[in-house]
A and B are shown apart, each in its own frame.
Chain A
Amino acid sequence: MAVTWQIATVVSIRRETATARTIVLRIPTWRGHIAGQHLDVRLTADDGYTAVRSYSIASSYDAATSDAHDVELTIEQIEDGEVSPYLVTHLSVGDSVEVRGPIGGWFVWRPQQTEPIQLIAGGSGIAPIMAMVRASTALVAEGAIAPLRLLYSVRSPATAIFAEELRGLDARNLVEVTMVYTRGGPEGWPRRIGRVDAADIVVACWPPDASPTCYVCGPTAFVESAAGLLVEAGHLPDLIRTERFGSV
């Protein structure tokens, strides 16, 4: 089914930060998805011109409890972007967009995976990572797997998406979150302000000898840098999966 376009309806919208929203889409034919997969979204102008962009599914799917037809996309507005400003500022509840998916079978976390999991997200790269966090909490709670570790890099506290939900999960030991602020931290932030560096990888991530599977997602340059640091720290390239969102 993944190759056919379907018409999805916006059933609700949540503001996440000043520049990001979560859009809940109801899709007529949907058989669930695996954490990490994405959708293609297609917009059509009145002269027939179309633009297609990929967006990760941020919600998790559980055959037993989920409403099979609803998926959540979390979109950060790119200034001068063609598609993201429309999705973040224009689209309203009741509107429709065309979608295709779920797509992707590599940058995914499956509940059968029992090895330690290291997540590294930059900015809106948190979207598929959040799907993995959400999909894993029940298994972590029952002690079946170790809490996932997450290194999350954002410009400032105000730009952190899902900050409250992550704080709550971290407090309940369902995921171990380390924040990295590149421009400015919260009041009294004890750590360095700046990009993810080698020390962050050593301090906040599973060590290489735990053989974690690592998922790195965000803007392309962020992914290049973070995945490179993982390799330099001794993580096997075969265990590092990446999703590059785009140019910057």
Chain B
Amino acid sequence: MGIFSPGFTGRPRKASEDLPPGQYLTKDFPVLSAGPTPRITNDQWEFTLTTETGEKRKWNWKALQALPIETINTDLHCVTRWSKLGTTWRGVSIDALLADVDTSAQFAMALCYGGYTTNLPLTELLDGKAWIAFEYDGSPLHAEHGGPARLLVPHLYLWKSAKWIAGLRLMDRDAPGFWENLGYHNHGDPWLEQRYSEA
């Protein structure tokens, strides 16, 4: 955290929050994907960051593990209406990956093994709001849940937390990803119930 803003109070904050509108609680971890599950080994896995000018940076499994690893306790909300509370993950924050990257881009496209894509404003990926996660509930992340590594953006519907993540492409202009092209909401905030695009 940086500096305080003397005299700034902000909106009143709720002490306890319940589920986002239209969600129900589940104890198991449903699997939803647009196609078959890609099988990628840790050795094959590679993450590529491409800036808006086309500059590329790559991390293999070892390089990823050498970055600061965080434990993430978070709730998950799927657009298909299940929510799962208090899940535990380990991963590397997107802030850590972007720390030395020079960019003025506002948007990012997540690119995945298997061809899946999803778009996000870059601000939704920064400030400790998103990670490349590779451990779930104390075990390596299973392939059906996106292993070896997935994007984790838990404050948005889970389709934004792209499984089998292979890279991020930074963009000056927003462009829809896979589900966003198929009628799902461009942003996907569960608290605003942004499930489907209005158009």
Contacts and interface: CB of A to CB of B under 8 A. Distances in A.
A and B assemble together: yes
B52 interface: yes
A48 interface: yes
Interface string B5-24: 11111110100000000000
A37 interface: yes
Contact of A90 (B8, B52, B127): B8
Interface string B119-142: 000110011000000000000000
Given A44-B4, A44-B5, A104 B102 contact: no
What range describes how many residues of A lie at the interface?
A: 20 to 34
B76 to A, nearest CB: 23
A106 interface: yes
Contacts of B105: 2, 103, 105
Nearest to A98: B2
A86 B5 contact: yes
Nearest to A101: B104
B66 interface: no
A1 interface: yes
B95 A3 contact: yes
Which secondary structure dominates chain B's binding surface? loop
B90 to A, nearest CB: 23
Interface in A1-19: 1-5, 7
Interface in B121-178: 122-123, 126-127, 172-173
Interface in B1-50: 1-11, 13
Contact of A7 (B2, B10, B11, B13): B2
Interface in A41-99: 42-46, 48-52, 82, 86, 90, 95-98
Contacts of A44: 1-5, 8
A46 B4 contact: yes
Given A44-B8, A90-B7, A3 B2 contact: no
A82 B10 contact: yes
Given A40-B123, A44-B2, A98-B2, A86 B102 contact: no
B5 A1 contact: no
B1 A48 contact: yes
A126 B88 CA distance: 46
B2 A1 contact: no
B101 interface: yes
A218 interface: no
B11 A82 contact: yes
A185 interface: no
29 contacts: A2-B102, A2-B103, A3-B99, A3-B103, A3-B122, A40-B123, A42-B2, A43-B10, A44-B4, A45-B8, A46-B4, A49-B10, A50-B10, A51-B10, A52-B123, A52-B127, A82-B11, A86-B8, A90-B8, A95-B6, A97-B3, A97-B5, A98-B2, A103-B104, A103-B105, A103-B106, A104-B104, A104-B172, A105-B106
| 5 smallest beta-carbon distances between A and B, as pairs | A105-B172, A43-B5, A106-B172, A43-B8, A98-B2
Interface of B: 1-11, 13, 52, 95, 98-99, 101-106, 122-123, 126-127, 172-173
